[in-house]
Amino acid sequence: MIKGKSKETTPYTSSTHNILASGTKLHGEITSEEDFRIDGTIEGNIQCRGKIIIGQSGAVNGNIDCCNIDLFGKVTGNIICSETVILKASSYLSGEIKTRIIEIEPGANFEGTCSMLNNNVNNNSLTGSLEV
């Protein structure tokens, strides 16, 4: 019996993501097509077509535009999210949120306003407002 070498496969691109490690500081604008995990500090705006996860040691001082975001750490700035914002119990957010869906766990700190995007319109029309 002849045994052949196994074929190497290229990773599926949607499973790739970017990581900013704890202890790393970045100053500037970020644009990403893939998911992004932030455990370090970013001073600047972020635009991401994927999901952003800001870990407990992560901090962003700037505006964020993304599809989904899970916040465990700290954000000082505004968030525009086309799908879901999740504020975990360890999170701190100071700024305005515009999103379709928001989940806030008990213990999360949120100072600002939240506006819900209209699900039927693609032009970021607002259907209501909630101040927390």
DSSP letters for 46-86: EEESSEEEE-TT-EEES-EEEEEEEESSEEES-EEEEEEEE
| Pairing assessment for the beta strands 74-76 and 46-48 based on DSSP bridges | unpaired
Residue at 119 is within a domain: yes
pTM score, whole prediction = 0.79
pLDDT at position 31: 95
| Total number of domains in the chain | 1
Residue at 44 is within a domain: yes
Q: Which domain holds residue 120?
A: 19-131
Q: If you search the block for the tokens 């899970």, which residue do you land on?
A: 70
- The string over 6-17, giving b where at least 16 C-beta atoms fall within 10 Å of a residue's C-beta and e elsewhere, is eeeeeeeeeeee
Lowest mean pLDDT among 6-10, 35-39, 96-100: 6-10
Tens of pLDDT, residues 101-110: 999 999 999 9
Tens of pLDDT, residues 28-59: 999 999 999 999 999 999 999 999 999 999 99
Residue at 6 is within a domain: no
Residue at 9 is within a domain: no
Q: If you search the block for the tokens 């995007």, which residue do you land on?
A: 117
Residue at 2 is within a domain: no
Cα 36 to Cα 25: distance, rounded to the nearest angstrom? 15
